[in-house]
Structure 1
Amino acid sequence: MVDKNDAAFRELEDEMRRERFAALWHQYGIYAILLAAAVVVGVAGSQLWQTWSQSRAETTGTEYETAVALAHAGKTEEAIAAFGAISTNGPKGFATLASISEASAYLKQNRRAEAFAIFDRLAEDRSTDPLLSNLARLQAASLRLGDADFTEMENRLKPLLGDGNAWRFRASELLATAALTSGKLDEARALLTPLIADPNLSRGASERIDRLMSGIAAAELGGTRSVQATPGPAAKTAETPAENDKNAETPASAP
């Protein structure tokens, strides 16, 4: 008798669980379906996004190569337009490279204001890759040399002077030039002296620093506290940011 009662109770409990589950499914089942669908769509969407992103990057890479070829061929206006289109519509990495190349193309035409505006924008854009952002900061500062006072140059270049910064040699050299032209000979010497013994200093940078140190000595002997500004080491016109003089240091040379 007990077994029959137990069986009846279990059957009743099972029935109640089924009814409760049915009620819950009736109330919430649609959300489970939507959740499952969302997972499927999310996975498929992620795969489609990766495929589209790769395709877009490949297309933009081809467009960038075409723009570089135009710049090398001397078709600067066409190159500027091509770089500008990529900087506006391309993926972030290519957009940054295109912006730097666009600014360099402007410099080829001696359109310093347009170039400076681009470099200055990239320097302040926190979403820009730090290496490229710092390069833009250096270039913007170089374009201000001779017009900006020492305080402005110091504010622009000080973030680049750290030991681990890839552009520290050029930044120190440029700031020392600004100090020298402002008659701040002690500051100029203090910036240059640590670089002389640095084993990572390139031959080209070493030669430029020697000239600056000679300028400091000449200014002291001549009784003058300032000399005329010369173009900054970063103010070079180039079709692409990768171009540089043979003797200049590169980010790879920095620790």
Structure 2
Amino acid sequence: MIKLPALSNQFRPAMSQDNIFREIDEELRSDRMRALWRRFGPFVIGAAVAIVVLVAANEGWSWYTKSRSASASEELYAALEAADRGDLAGAQAQLDALVSNGSGGYPVLAEFRKAALLAEEGDVAAAVSAYDALANSQSNPRMRELALLLAANLLVDHGTLADVELRIATIATDDNHMRRVARELLGLAQYRAGDAAAAQASFEAVLNDPLAQTSIRNRMAFYLAQMVSDGVVAGDTPTLAGDEEAAPVAAEPVAE
């Protein structure tokens, strides 16, 4: 029978001490990890829960706002359809509800349409007041300018030159992107007020604007052509830039 050599007394203690130290080290590491987890675990769990809650809240809010916007859009189209059918009272009621309960930009759109309905019903003064109120309440300068232009458009026929100038004089400047519309309205108001020279200057400013589109150039040409034909200003008949079909419509605003 083969006998294995006995381990020396010097080797056995050395191996036992290595095992003991390793086990102690592992225990210490385990204890440190448990201590660290007890200390920081709640924060880690809390952070994870907070992230989940935030993501869920964001998704929920996104769904809610999209749902409300879709509903507001449907309400606006329903009001527009009612107005097209001639049901102005029904359209007004729907727009009032949208102004009160709508979301996003739909309440503002509803306010603009309400003002337009007032004009369609013949209450120009109320429509102008509504546009003025919109202009005073808007933080967006473009929306403010739009409201002022729409008010001025009504006042060309139902107000004075001073009323029109009060609203759009600051828009009819070289650095404003809506200057062409403002100058057209200003020119019409000047013509109706009897200031043909000022009207001519306003129309020519639009006609000579390099950024003016063909359609608006043609309107200015027709305005000026009618003024020359009526003998209120001197000069040659302006040359049209293209679209001839605009002539009958464009000549109407300055006809007396």
1:14–1:141 CA distance, 2 compared to 1 (3 A): same
Confirm or deny: 8 A CA contact 1:138 1:157 kept in the other structure: no
1:61 to 69, 73, 83: 73
Larger Rg: 2
List alignment gaps of at least 5 residues for structure 1. 221-245, 249-255
Aligned residue in 1 for 2:145? 134
Aligned residue in 2 for 1:75? 87
Confirm or deny: 8 A CA contact 1:71 1:79 kept in the other structure: yes
Q: Distance in 2 between matches of 1:43 and 1:174?
A: 51
1:7 Cα deviation (Å)?
6.4
Confirm or deny: 8 A CA contact 2:164 2:189 kept in the other structure: no
User: 2:220 is matched by which residue type in structure 1?
Assistant: S
Q: Quick check: 38-47 or 152-161, which moved more? A: 152-161
1:143–1:214 CA distance, 2 compared to 1 (3 A): same
1:148 Cα deviation (Å)?
5.1
Aligned residue in 1 for 2:200? 189
List alignment gaps of at least 5 residues for structure 2. 1-13, 235-247, 251-256
Q: Distance in 1 between matches of 2:75 and 2:48?
A: 40
1:206 to 196, 220, 224: 220
SS at match of 1:74: coil
CA RMSD of aligned residues (A): 3.9
SS at match of 1:92: coil
1:92–1:117 CA distance, 2 compared to 1 (3 A): farther
1:142–1:208 CA distance, 2 compared to 1 (3 A): farther
1:160-171 to structure 2, matched below 5 A, reads: 161-162=173-174, 165=177, 167-171=178-182
1:68 Cα deviation (Å)?
1.4
1:100-249 to structure 2, matched below 5 A, reads: 100-128=112-140, 130=142, 132-145=143-156, 147=159, 150=162, 153-154=165-166, 156-159=168-171, 161-162=173-174, 165=177, 167-180=178-191, 186-198=197-209, 200-202=213-215, 205-206=219-220, 209-210=223-224, 213-214=227-228, 218=232
Q: Distance in 2 between matches of 1:6 and 1:107?
A: 94
Confirm or deny: 8 A CA contact 2:134 2:147 kept in the other structure: yes
1:102 Cα deviation (Å)?
1.2
User: 1:24 is matched by which residue type in structure 2?
Assistant: R
SS at match of 2:147: helix
Q: How many residues align?
A: 217
1:31–1:148 CA distance, 2 compared to 1 (3 A): farther
1:206–1:189 CA distance, 2 compared to 1 (3 A): closer
Q: Distance in 2 between matches of 1:153 and 1:179?
A: 9
TM-score when normalising by structure 2 = 0.65
TM-score when normalising by structure 1 = 0.65
Aligned residue in 2 for 1:87? 99
Confirm or deny: 8 A CA contact 2:72 2:98 kept in the other structure: yes
User: 2:204 is matched by which residue type in structure 1?
Assistant: T
Q: Distance in 2 between matches of 1:87 and 1:136?
A: 16
1:105 Cα deviation (Å)?
0.9
Question: Using CA pairs below 8 Å that are at least 6 residues apart, which structure has the higher relative contact order?
Answer: 1
Q: Identity of paired residues, percent? A: 24
Cα deviation digits, residues 180-234 of structure 1 (max 9, x gap)? 45665554333221222455141663366326744996289xxxxxxxxxxxxxx
1:69–1:19 CA distance, 2 compared to 1 (3 A): closer
1:10 Cα deviation (Å)?
5.9
